[in-house]
């Protein structure tokens, strides 16, 4: 043990408390032993710290977090294939954590994209384990270089949201080692994250938080992981087997329930005190590593971080089609900007990763500021899958009067997010109908596609240009405007496969989908 001198001074009750959270976001403290209370909270593409000055209707504080920079989520940043850029993002995330006295940020999400309909795909880098591992390691190295820890998640085999709390992932060893493990292995070996978060699901019948082979044999034994293993929030099923099989810290606090179970288990011989001491030692080590930043008074540069978010977005956006060099837009062209997403962008995913952005660019305003001659039509009602004939008619008229029509379309929050999976890869029907009608009215049509995962594009042969903007983060609007006008060259590359049809994906027919968690 690294800190036997400290652990030996703790009572059994104190040790039992230390392997569970103090509350939803904090660890236990022991000031008399030089161990302050530290905070760990959500990422992964920005800091989501609950605002202490605002009341929240839920423990996770959605909608009541302090303003921080919303970087492009992993599904987008992965398309940059730029490890240095991700390292810079990690450094920026750390600076914001230091300001807010956060010691560990929960991310990056390194789950493999096994199916395009996983509702949380926007949080994950790729279907390619090598790319996912390299991007994860780069972000972690950047963040931890400034003394803020990461939590590599969700280990392992968590590639669906439906039934994620109870599902049993039955996987042979070759598959798990060739597909599901490599990204985590790369990240662990190349960055040594301070923590690894286990997943909710079972792997071959055993919950991840109680899986000795997963945590002790592979993660620590084979890969040499030296940090702390923490449960996903509420993922501790049976605390005593969890401790015995490698889980150091249960989050959030379980009150006194598991504390008393641990005390009783030690007293009756069910749990070896040496095992408990090892788990406590790992928690103590995390707290000690976190101490230097707690004493710093630091303010991050809001504008510099916004510009970095723009740089990440610009490096990730991918030009998928450009017939007759329709892009960049030419000086003097009259441009019809169509689609509510141009003014009200979808820039991040939904769920525990939602960031209260310090500012938000939209493509419409940014194009205007660049001097583009613009007309605008709404095209559809954002968040609804209803074809509005009047809005489409107005869009068609606007497109006919322009030299180029740029349609902003894709997936809105209602169609993908944490806690549920999609049932297909279709875009909203109103978006598809709009694009087809605009393309008929103006042959010079470009689509700017937003969303955190792949979609079926029945209109792809009807348009001349296609720019995949993904989820661009808070500066994504400026990035789109710069690419459309040629100020920035679109250098992104896809990080996942776009099947021509959902039926062409290997998981079709073998993936549950739907809303049940």
Phi, psi of 431 (to 5 degrees): -70, -45
232 is catalytic: yes
In 3D, which of 184, 164, 87 has the Cα closest to residue 120?
Answer: 164
Collapsed DSSP state (helix, strand, coil) of residue 250 = strand
Residues 118 and 160: beta-carbon distance below 8 Å: yes
Catalytic residue among 42, 82, 128, 232: 232
Interatomic CA distance for residues 283 and 293, integer angstroms: 17
Residue with tokens 């689509």: 447
Q: Give the relative orientation of helices 302-316 and 83-99 as an angle to the nearest 10 degrees.
A: 150
d(CA 386, CA 457) in angstroms, rounded, equals 18
Residues 6+ apart with CB under 8 A from 98: 146, 147, 148, 293, 296, 298, 300
Rounded CA gap, 174 and 509, in Å?
22
For residue 324, the SS3 value is helix
Instruction: Determine the Cα–Cα distance for residues 361 and 476; give it in Å rounded to an integer.
Output: 7
DSSP labels, 107-157? --B-----STT-TTGGGB--S-HHHHHHHHHHHHHHHHTTT-EEEEEEETT
Q: How far is CA 472 from CA 74, 169, 394, 405, in A?
A: 10, 32, 27, 21
R_g of the chain, CA atoms, integer Å: 24
Q: What is the distance between the alpha carbons of residues 245 and 230, in angstroms, rounded to a whole number?
A: 12
Tell me how far the alpha carbon of residue 423 is from its chain's centroid: 21
Q: How far apart are the first and last CA of the chain?
A: 38
Burial class from Cβ neighbours inside 10 Å (0-12, 13-18, 19+) for residue 461 reads exposed
Residue tagged 């049993």 (tokens): 168
| DSSP annotation of 204 | T
**CA separation, residue 190 to residues 111, 134, 185, 397 (Å):** 17, 8, 8, 55
Residue 475, CA distances (Å) to 81, 138, 192, 310, 323 in order: 19, 21, 30, 5, 27
Catalytic center residues:
232
């Amino acid at each position: 043990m690294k800190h036997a001198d400290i652990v030996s001074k703790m009572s059994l009750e104190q040790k039992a408390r230390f392997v569970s959270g103090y509350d939803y976001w904090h660890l236990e403290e022991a000031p008399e032993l030089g161990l302050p209370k530290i905070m760990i909270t959500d990422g992964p593409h920005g800091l989501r710290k609950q605002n202490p000055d605002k009341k929240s209707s839920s423990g996770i504080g959605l909608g009541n977090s302090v303003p921080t920079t919303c970087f492009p989520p992993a599904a987008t940043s992965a398309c940059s294939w730029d490890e240095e850029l991700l390292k810079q993002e990690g450094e920026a995330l750390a600076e914001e954590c230091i300001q807010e006295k956060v010691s560990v940020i929960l991310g990056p999400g390194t789950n493999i994209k096994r199916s395009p309909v996983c509702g949380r795909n926007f949080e994950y880098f790729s279907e390619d384990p090598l790319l996912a591992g390299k991007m994860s390691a780069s972000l972690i190295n950047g963040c931890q270089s400034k003394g803020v820890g990461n939590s590599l998640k969700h280990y392992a085999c968590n590639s669906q949201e439906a039934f994620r709390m109870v599902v049993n992932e039955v996987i042979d060893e070759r598959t798990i080692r060739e597909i599901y493990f490599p990204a985590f292995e790369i990240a662990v070996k190349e960055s040594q994250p301070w923590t690894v978060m286990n997943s909710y699901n079972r792997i071959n019948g055993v919950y991840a938080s109680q899986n000795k082979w997963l945590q002790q044999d592979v993660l620590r034994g084979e890969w040499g992981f030296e940090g702390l293993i923490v449960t996903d929030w509420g993922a501790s099923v049976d605390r005593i087997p969890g401790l015995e099989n490698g889980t150091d810290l249960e989050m959030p606090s379980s009150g006194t329930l598991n504390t008393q179970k641990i005390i009783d288990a030690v007293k009756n011989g069910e749990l070896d005190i040496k095992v408990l001491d090892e788990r406590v030692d790992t928690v103590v080590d995390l707290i000690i590593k976190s101490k230097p930043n707690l004493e710093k008074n630091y303010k991050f540069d809001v504008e510099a971080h916004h510009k970095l978010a723009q740089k990440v977005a610009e490096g990730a956006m991918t030009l998928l089609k450009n017939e007759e060099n329709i892009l960049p837009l030419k000086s003097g062209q009259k441009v019809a900007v169509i689609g509510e997403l141009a003014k009200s962008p979808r820039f991040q995913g939904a769920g525990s990763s939602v960031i209260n952005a310090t500012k938000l660019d939209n493509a419409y305003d940014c194009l205007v500021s660049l001097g583009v001659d613009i007309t605008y039509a709404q095209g559809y009602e954002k968040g609804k899958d209803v074809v509005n004939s009047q809005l489409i008619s107005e869009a068609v008229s606007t497109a006919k009067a322009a030299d180029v029509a740029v349609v902003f379309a894709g997936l809105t929050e209602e169609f993908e997010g944490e806690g549920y999976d999609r049932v297909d890869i279709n875009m909203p029907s109103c978006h598809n109908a709009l694009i087809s009608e605009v393309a008929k009215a103006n042959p010079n049509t470009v689509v700017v596609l937003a969303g955190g995962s792949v979609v079926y594009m029945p209109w792809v042969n009807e348009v001349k240009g296609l720019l995949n903007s993904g989820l661009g983060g808070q500066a994504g609007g400026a990035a789109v405007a710069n690419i459309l006008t040629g100020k920035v060259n679109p250098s992104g590359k896809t990080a996942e496969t776009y099947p021509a049809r959902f039926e062409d994906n290997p998981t079709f027919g073998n993936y549950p989908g739907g809303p049940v968690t």
